[in-house]
Structure 1
C-alpha cells in the first residue's frame, strides 16, 4: 500500500470504507503491476 502514500488520506480512507477487503486486494494487485 506504499503507492497510496501519494494519494490524499481522505481518498484512501473513503476507499477502505466503501470497498470490502477482497476488492482492495484486487486493486492493490492491479496497482502494483508495471
Structure 2
C-alpha cells in the first residue's frame, strides 16, 4: 500500500513538471 501511494506521488510530480515545462515553452514561443 505504501509503495503504491509513493508511486502515485512520483507520477503526479512528473506530470505536473512536464505540464509546467510545456506551458512555459508555449508562453515563450507565443509573443504577447
Q: TM-score, normalised by structure 1?
A: 0.40
Greater RCO, 1 or 2 (C-alpha within 8 Å, sep 6+): 1
Higher CA-based Rg? 2
- Higher helix proportion (structure 1 or 2): 2
Task: Give the TM-score taking structure 2 as reference length.
Answer: 0.42
